[in-house]
Amino acid sequence: METDGSGFKVQIRGVDGLHHGHIEVYHRGDIVVFQYESEKGGETQAAKLQTYAGWLLVDGESRHNETTRRNPKIVEANCNAHQGGSWRRPRPQPALAAEAGRFVSEMFDQEAKAKELGLQGDELRQWRQERIKPQFDQLRTWMDAVEPTLAKPDELAKVIRYYRNHWKELTRFLDDPSIPIDNSASEREFQWVAKLRLNSFFAGGTEGAQRAATLLGVAATCRRLRVDMEAYLTWVFVRRGTHRDKYAHLTAADLTPQAYKAAMLAEAQSA
């Protein structure tokens, strides 16, 4: 599962100004869920994921530490794009940064080739071991040689320390083909949150923020499934509104975008 978060402004009655809340996305495969929280503390996320088991792909924020500390069934993996781009940003050591950036660029080039070839499972694992792991090995050798030459406050030294501190999590995808190389899919979902801000500067209360999160998740899931959201919502409203007595036996699982897509496919096949 992948996750990321962003700030979300909310108007609270009786409170001056706007409350700076937090909206998170959780997704795996075709299922996308947005959730609003009043704050972004680690304890909030830890409580939410206390029954989850599996890998969790995140940026290397310290707030995730509480989640993995409380739940040993969660295996944390970190995003290689989060700090990978730091090698290419202007800094006092541009030549050295460019050297490291070439290793990271080659990693992503090889991952892109694997995607073009449609590699999955053991084939993807083998590809990563043969084509991407050597780039990590060279990067580590490079860091060992360069770090002693840098002052501790140097920006390049900070990036190197990040890689050292998160090395296990950054390289976890090499052994598990189900883990993406980066968390960019989560960040792309927040482009829609940014577009929402063009039409709505804030949510009108906590309930409004929660409703916005629910609709963002439904819209994102429909996009991934290539389902027309308007047609899906019409289908749901018939079953939960106009003719709810007729469809009273349906559960929430029977009313998801996935259920709608399956129903449409079955209907087309029977026609």
pLDDT tens digit string along 47-93?
A: 999 999 999 999 878 888 899 999 999 999 999 987 666 666 646 67
The contacts of residue 28 (CB under 8 Å, 6+ apart) are 1, 2
Residue 89: its pLDDT value, please?
A: 63
Q: Are 32 and 43 in contact (CB under 8 A)?
A: no
Pairing status of strand 31-37 against strand 19-28: antiparallel
- Average pLDDT of the chain to the nearest whole number: 90
Query: pLDDT for 159-186, tens place per residue?
Result: 899 999 999 999 999 999 999 999 999 9
pLDDT-derived band at 128 (thresholds 50, 70, 90) equals very high
The helix/strand count (H/E) of the chain reads as 12, 5
pLDDT-derived band at 235 (thresholds 50, 70, 90) equals very high
Percentage above 90 pLDDT, the chain: 61
Count how many residues are written for the chain: 271
Query: pLDDT for 18-27, tens place per residue?
Result: 889 899 999 9
Judged against a pLDDT cut of 90, whether residue 118 lies above it is answered with yes
Structure tokens at 57: 């792909």
Element (H, E) at 106: helix 94-116
* Interval 117-128 mean pLDDT: 96
C-alpha to C-alpha distance for 160 and 198, rounded to whole angstroms: 37
Q: Are 58 and 183 in contact (CB under 8 A)?
A: yes
